[in-house]
C-alpha cells in the first residue's frame, strides 16, 4: 500500500541461472564465480557462461567482470581447452569512473571516452584454443551494468558521484542483459548465467534498498559464499538466514577453508539441508592463481553438479506441479471439469502485488510477473517491503512462543493485538476482542453473541428457565446479496443463492428475514440510486435519486430526507408484519457495511443501512457489522463503520487484519454484550474456541499490519491518519461512467450499428 510496484516482466530460466551472494566483502565471491565459469567451460560437456556484475564500485581499479574474464581465459589457456570466445563489457559508468578509465593505462581496454559502437562504455574480447569436431567454440560473456569509481557501498557511491539508479530500472537493465544469453539463442549447448552481487547479502544498492530485497522479485537460486575466517560462522549463518527470510533458495554454501574449520559448524547448523563445500586457502599474494584453480577444480566440479541438479529438478518440479495439481487438489469454488491441466497457473513466488508464474513459451521455460488482479481473494494489501517485515515478525513470534493455548492466558502478541483492535476499528464502542481463525467463524461467533444479548434484553432467557419446553425460534435480519462465509451457520444467515441451494447445502433453511437493499452506481458522472419496487413512493422525486459525489450519498443531511422517511417506514412495517405473523424473533441485524463483496461488489445505499441500524436500535435488536472484507482500509477508512457514521454492537474482522499473510479473525463486542455471558455456571459462558485462538504468528502479523497501515512513514497513501488518498482519478471515473452497452454488446460511441 505504500510503494510503487515493479513493472511486469518476463525472464527465461531455460538455462541454469544463479545469483552469487557473499556474507561480506572480500570473501571470494569473484573467485567462486570464476571457478564455476572455468568448470562450466571445461567440463566433459562444455557449456557457455554469462557472468553479470550488476553493481561495481572501485572501478576501474576493481572490476570483477574483468577479473573473471582474465582469470577464466588464463586458466583455460593453461589447460588447452577447446575454442573459447571471450568478451568483457562495461555498460554504464559514473562520470568519475569514466574519467578514471580514460586516464587508465590499462592495455586491455579499448576506450576513447565515448560509448563504443556496440552501445557499451568499454569493451574487450579475445578468442583462443582449437575448434573441437568442427563445432566452433563456446562463449564466455562478462558484463558490468553500472560502475562507480569510489570503492564504497553503491548507495554512498551515488551520493558522491551521481548516476542514481532506481530499483525498478536496475532490474529492467539486468533483465535486458540476461536476454543476451536467454535460451542460448543460436548458440550450441547450455548457457549458464551467474549474477554476482556487491558486498554482503544486506549491503545497500544504489537506492539504499538492501540487495537481498532489491533482487527479490526474480528470486533467483542462491550460491552463498561463506566466510572461513574468525567470526565467519556467525556471518555465514546470518547471511543464510537473511536470504531464507526473503524466500531465496540457497542451493549451496562454499567457503575458503582455514584451520578454524568454520564449515563444520555451518554444516552442523544446517543439518544437511544445504551442501557446504570447502575451497583450499587462497595465498595472500595472489601471484599463483592458476595453481589455486587447479587445486580447486574438484570442488568447483562438485559445485557445478549441485547447481545443475538443482536447476534440472526445479524445472521438472514446475512441470510436475501443473500436471499433478488437478489430480490431487480439490479447489474451492471450482468445477474441475472445466479446468484442463494446461491452464493451471503455477506460482513460483510472490513479490508485492505480483505473482511470479511459470509458463512454457516457444519451448522456453519462462518466469513471468503477473498482477494479482484477485488480490488473493481480498487478503492482499502489503507491499514487498511490508511482506518481509511480516515474515520477520512471524518468525520471531513462532520462535519465541510456538503454540500457546489461549484460555486464561495472556502473552504479548495477543494483548498488543487486542489493544490495537479496540483502539482502532473498535474505538469508541468495543471493549472486548474474541479471536478465531477465519471470517466465517467470526460471523458465527458474532451471531452467538448477538442472540444472547437479544434474549437477555427481551427476557427470553428467563422465560426459557420458567418453561424449558418452550420453542424459541430466533432469526436474523440480513440483506439479499450479502455473503458472510461458507460455514453452515453463516450460510443460514444469508438469503437463498447458488451457494445455499439444495445441491450445495441440503440442510439450508434460511433462518432470516432478507431485505432487497437499494444500491448505488455512477453513470454519466452522477451517483444514482437503484431502488427496488417495494420502496416506490409518490413522495420521492427524481432529484432524490441523483448525487454529484459519493460524499453527498454519505452525508448525514440525508437522514431527514424523504428517502430516509421512505426507508424507515418500509423497515418498520416489515418488522411489524414479521412479529405479528410469526412466533419467531429477529435476534440480530447482520450487514456488510457499504458494499456487498462476494455478492457482486454491489454498493449499498449507506442511508438505507443507517436507517436499518436506527430501526433495530429502537427494537433492541443487536447490530452486527461483517467487516471481514471491508475492514482495515479496504474502503479508504480503517473501518467501514466510519462511512456509515453509526456503530455496531458486534463486528467481525479478518483478511487484511494480518496483512493477508496468515489466517486470523477477531469478533469485537461491547461490554454490554460481554456482560450477558457472565453467570454462576460455566454453561453461561461463550462455549466457543479453537486450538489456535490468538496464535502467536497471527497476532504478531496483525500488530505489524495495523501499525504499518496507519503510519505515514510506511503507508504513503494515508492522510492525517484517518483516510487513504483516492487512487482513482475522478475525471477518469466520470469518463468511464459515460459508457454503456447497447443490446448488441457494444459500447455506445463504438457501436456495430454505427
**Chain-centroid distance, C-alpha 662:** 11
Say how many C-beta atoms besides its own lie within 10 A of residue 76's C-beta.
Answer: 23
Res. 111 pLDDT band, cuts 50 70 90: very low
The confidence score (pLDDT) of residue 441 equals: 96
Res. 278 pLDDT band, cuts 50 70 90: very high
pLDDT in tens, 683-739: 999 999 999 999 999 999 999 999 999 999 998 889 887 888 887 788 888 888 888
The confidence score (pLDDT) of residue 284 equals: 57
Q: Which of the two residues, 225 and 128, has the higher pLDDT score?
A: 225
Listed by start position, the domains of the chain span: 17-102+120-180+188-311, 329-372, 430-688+699-738
How far, in Å, are 53, 67, 148, 242 from residue 29 at the CA level?
A: 11, 11, 19, 17
User: What phi and psi, each to the nearest 5 degrees, are found at residue 569?
Assistant: -60, -45
pLDDT in tens, 631-656: 999 999 999 999 999 999 999 999 99
Res. 753 pLDDT band, cuts 50 70 90: very low
Q: Above pLDDT 70, what percent of the chain?
A: 92
The confidence score (pLDDT) of residue 378 equals: 81
The confidence score (pLDDT) of residue 471 equals: 80
Res. 109 pLDDT band, cuts 50 70 90: very low
Q: Would the CA dihedral through 68, 72, 73, 74 be positive or negative?
A: positive
Reduce the secondary structure of 546-557 to three states and give it as a string: EECCHHHHHCHH
CA distance 320 to 308: 18
Reported as type and span, the H/E element at residue 528 is strand 526-530
pLDDT in tens, 608-618: 999 999 999 99
Say how many C-beta atoms besides its own lie within 10 A of residue 608's C-beta.
Answer: 26
Pairing mode of beta strands 48-56, 138-147: parallel
Res. 499 pLDDT band, cuts 50 70 90: confident
Task: Tell me the mean pLDDT in the region 208-232.
Answer: 95
CA distance 646 to 640: 10
pLDDT in tens, 323-367: 999 999 999 999 999 999 889 999 999 888 889 999 999 889 999
Q: Which of the two residues, 426 and 734, has the higher pLDDT score?
A: 426
Is residue 85 predicted with pLDDT exceeding 80? Answer: yes
The confidence score (pLDDT) of residue 750 equals: 42
Res. 747 pLDDT band, cuts 50 70 90: very low
Q: Note whether 54 and 174 are within 8 A (CB).
A: yes
Q: Note whether 200 and 23 are within 8 A (CB).
A: yes
Q: Above pLDDT 90, what percent of the chain?
A: 69
Task: Tell me the mean pLDDT in the region 518-545.
Answer: 85
The reply to whether 430-688+699-738 shares the fold of 17-102+120-180+188-311 is: no
Is residue 748 predicted with pLDDT exceeding 50? Answer: no
Q: Which CATH architecture has domain 430-688+699-738?
A: 3-Layer(aba) Sandwich (3.40)
Q: Which CATH architecture has domain 17-102+120-180+188-311?
A: 3-Layer(aba) Sandwich (3.40)
Is residue 208 predicted with pLDDT exceeding 60? Answer: yes
Res. 7 pLDDT band, cuts 50 70 90: low
For residue 174, count CB atoms less than 10 angstroms from its CB and return exposed for 0-12, middle for 13-18, buried for 19 or more.
buried
How high is the mean pLDDT of the chain?
89
Q: Rounded to the nearest 5 degrees, what angle is found at the Cα of 600, between the Cα atoms of 595 and 603?
A: 30
Output the pTM of the full model. 0.88
The closest of 168, 173, 153 to 3, measured between CA atoms, is 168
Is residue 749 predicted with pLDDT exceeding 90? Answer: no
The confidence score (pLDDT) of residue 183 equals: 58
Res. 117 pLDDT band, cuts 50 70 90: very low
Amino acid at each position: 500500500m505504500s510503494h510503487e510496484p515493479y513493472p511486469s516482466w518476463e525472464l527465461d530460466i531455460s538455462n541454469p541461472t544463479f545469483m552469487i551472494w557473499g556474507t561480506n566483502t572480500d570473501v571470494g565471491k569473484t573467485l567462486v564465480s570464476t571457478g564455476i565459469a572455468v568448470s562450466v567451460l571445461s567440463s566433459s560437456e562444455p557449456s557457455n557462461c554469462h557472468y553479470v556484475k550488476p553493481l561495481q564500485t572501485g572501478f576501474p581499479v576493481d572490476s570483477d567482470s574483468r577479473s573473471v574474464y582474465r582469470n577464466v581465459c588464463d586458466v583455460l589457456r593453461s589447460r588447452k581447452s577447446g575454442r573459447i570466445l571471450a568478451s568483457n563489457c562495461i555498460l554504464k559508468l559514473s562520470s568519475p569512473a569514466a574519467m578514471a578509465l580514460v586516464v587508465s593505462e590499462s592495455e586491455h581496454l579499448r576506450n576513447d571516452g565515448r560509448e563504443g559502437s556496440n552501445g557499451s562504455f568499454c569493451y574487450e574480447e579475445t578468442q583462443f584454443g582449437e575448434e573441437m569436431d568442427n563445432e566452433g567454440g563456446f562463449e564466455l560473456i562478462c558484463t558490468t551494468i553500472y560502475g562507480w569509481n569510489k570503492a564504497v557501498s553503491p548507495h554512498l557511491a551515488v551520493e558522491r558521484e551521481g548516476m542514481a539508479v532506481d530499483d525498478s530500472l536496475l532490474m529492467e537493465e539486468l533483465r535486458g542483459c540476461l536476454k543476451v544469453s536467454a535460451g542460448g539463442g543460436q548458440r550450441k549447448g547450455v548457457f549458464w548465467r551467474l549474477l554476482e552481487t556487491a558486498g554482503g547479502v544486506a549491503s545497500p544498492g544504489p537506492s539504499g534498498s538492501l540487495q537481498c530485497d532489491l533482487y527479490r522479485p526474480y528470486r533467483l537460486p542462491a550460491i552463498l559464499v561463506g566466510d572461513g575466517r574468525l567470526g565467519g560462522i556467525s556471518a555465514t549463518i546470518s547471511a543464510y538466514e537473511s536470504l531464507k527470510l526473503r524466500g531465496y533458495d540457497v542451493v549451496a554454501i562454499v567457503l575458503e577453508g582455514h584451520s578454524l574449520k568454520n564449515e563444520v559448524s555451518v554444516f552442523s547448523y544446517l543439518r544437511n539441508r544445504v551442501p557446504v563445500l570447502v575451497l583450499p586457502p587462497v595465498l595472500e599474494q595472489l601471484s599463483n592463481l592458476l595453481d589455486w584453480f587447479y587445486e580447486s577444480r574438484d570442488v568447483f566440479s562438485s559445485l557445478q553438479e549441485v547447481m545443475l541438479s538443482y536447476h534440472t529438478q526445479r524445472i521438472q518440479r514446475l512441470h510436475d506441479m501443473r500436471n499433478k495439481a488437478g489430480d490431487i487438489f480439490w479447489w474451492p469454488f471450482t468445477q474441475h471439469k472445466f479446468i484442463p491441466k494446461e491452464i493451471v497457473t503455477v506460482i513460483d513466488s510472490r513479490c508485492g502485488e505480483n505473482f511470479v508464474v511459470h509458463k512454457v513459451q516457444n519451448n522456453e521455460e519462462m518466469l513471468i510477473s503477473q498482477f494479482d488482479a484477485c488480490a488473493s481473494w481480498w487478503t492482499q494489501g502489503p507491499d514487498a517491503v511490508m511482506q518481509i517485515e511480516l515474515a520477520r515478525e512471524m518468525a520471531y513470534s513462532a520462535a519465541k512462543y510456538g503454540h500457546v493455548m489461549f484460555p486464561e492466558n495472556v502473552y504479548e502478541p495477543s494483548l498488543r493485538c487486542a489493544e490495537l483492535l479496540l483502539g482502532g476499528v473498535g474505538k469508541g464502542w468495543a471493549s472486548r476482542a474474541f479471536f478465531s481463525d477465519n471470517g466465517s467463524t467470526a460471523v458465527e461467533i458474532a451471531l452467538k453473541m448477538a442472540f444472547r444479548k437479544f434474549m437477555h434484553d427481551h427476557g427470553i432467557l428467563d422465560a426459557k428457565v420458567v418453561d424449558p419446553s418452550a420453542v424459541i425460534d430466533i432469526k436474523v435480519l440480513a440483506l439479499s446479496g450479502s455473503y458472510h462465509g461458507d460455514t453452515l451457520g453463516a450460510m443460514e444467515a444469508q438469503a437463498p443463492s447458488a451457494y445455499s441451494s439444495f445441491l450445495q447445502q441440503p440442510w439450508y433453511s434460511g433462518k432470516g428475514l432478507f431485505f432487497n437493499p437499494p444500491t448505488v452506481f455512477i453513470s454519466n458522472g452522477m451517483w444514482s440510486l437503484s431502488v427496488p419496487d417495494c420502496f416506490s413512493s409518490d413522495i420521492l422525486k427524481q432529484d432524490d435519486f441523483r448525487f454529484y459525489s459519493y460524499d453527498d450519498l454519505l452525508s448525514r443531511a440525508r437522514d431527514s430526507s424523504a428517502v430516509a422517511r421512505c426507508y424507515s417506514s418500509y423497515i418498520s412495517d416489515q418488522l411489524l408484519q414479521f412479529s405479528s405473523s410469526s412466533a419467531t424473533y429477529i435476534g440480530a441485524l447482520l450487514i456488510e457495511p457499504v458494499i456487498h463483496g462476494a455478492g457482486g461488489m454491489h454498493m449499498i445505499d449507506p442511508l438505507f443501512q443507517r436507517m436499518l441500524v436506527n430501526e433495530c436500535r429502537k427494537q433492541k435488536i443487536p447490530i452486527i457489522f461483517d467487516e471481514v472484507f471491508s475492514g482495515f482500509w479496504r474502503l479508504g477508512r480503517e473501518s467501514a463503520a466510519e462511512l456509515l457514521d453509526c456503530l455496531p454492537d458486534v463486528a467481525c474482522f479478518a483478511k487484511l487484519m494480518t496483512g493477508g499473510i496468515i489466517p486470523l479473525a477477531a469478533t469485537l463486542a461491547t461490554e454490554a454484550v460481554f456482560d450477558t455471558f457472565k453467570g454462576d455456571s460455566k454453561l453461561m459462558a461463550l462455549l466457543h474456541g479453537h486450538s489456535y485462538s490468538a496464535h502467536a504468528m497471527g497476532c504478531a502479523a496483525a500488530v505489524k499490519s495495523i501499525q504499518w497501515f496507519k503510519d505515514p512513514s510506511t503507508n504513503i497513501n494515508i492522510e492525517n491518519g484517518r483516510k487513504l488518498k483516492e487512487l482513482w482519478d475522478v475525471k477518469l471515473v466520470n469518463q468511464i461512467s459515460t459508457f454503456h452497452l447497447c443490446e448488441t454488446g457494444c459500447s455506445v460511441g463504438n457501436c456495430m450499428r454505427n
